[in-house]
Amino acid sequence: MYKNIAVLLCLMYAVFGSGFLDLLDNPKPQPKPTAKILNIEKPRQEIIDRVSIFSDMIKDPDDRAKIAIFNYDFANRVTSYSATSQNVNDVYTLAGKIFFKETLVDKYEGLSEEIIKLMEEIMQGDNHSLDQIEKQKLNEYFIAVSWVLIQKG
């Protein structure tokens, strides 16, 4: 009799293995922390107020992430450019066409106009060589665009 019980237990162990006892533990799933797209310090409030229109305009979370990454990269590169205001505008436009291809064409009404307005506010006047102050302002404002986009993303 004891031999039959021992054989039965060994067979159950062989079939179900030690995983049978794991079912009793019933582990609870742990929520994954949300990863930040970019680690950006909060910009000054006056800059946030100026660029918050981009956050209101762009609703798609994937587009928000892509545009944030694009602007963050542009902002970090622009300070090292030795360029005119027209060169910076051309670089931004061509890089955008390459990065986004046709995905944003006519998708967000007024987006390109707002970008142009922001650039014109920073790079005032006719075509000229950018000074370090203008480059720094471009950096601050376009990083702020990235920041406002990842806040709701």
pLDDT digits (tens, 9 = 90+) for 87-144: 999 999 999 999 999 898 889 999 999 999 999 999 987 899 999 999 999 999 999 9
The CA distance from 96 to 128, in Å, is: 22
Domain that holds residue 131: 45-152
Residue 13 resides in a domain: no
Residue 10 resides in a domain: no
Cα–Cα distances in Å, from 92 out to 50, 98, 115?
A: 19, 10, 10
User: pLDDT tens across 69-91, in order?
Assistant: 999 999 999 999 999 999 999 99
Residue 123 resides in a domain: yes
* Domain tally, the chain: 1
Residue 73 resides in a domain: yes
Residue 18 resides in a domain: no
Residue 81 resides in a domain: yes
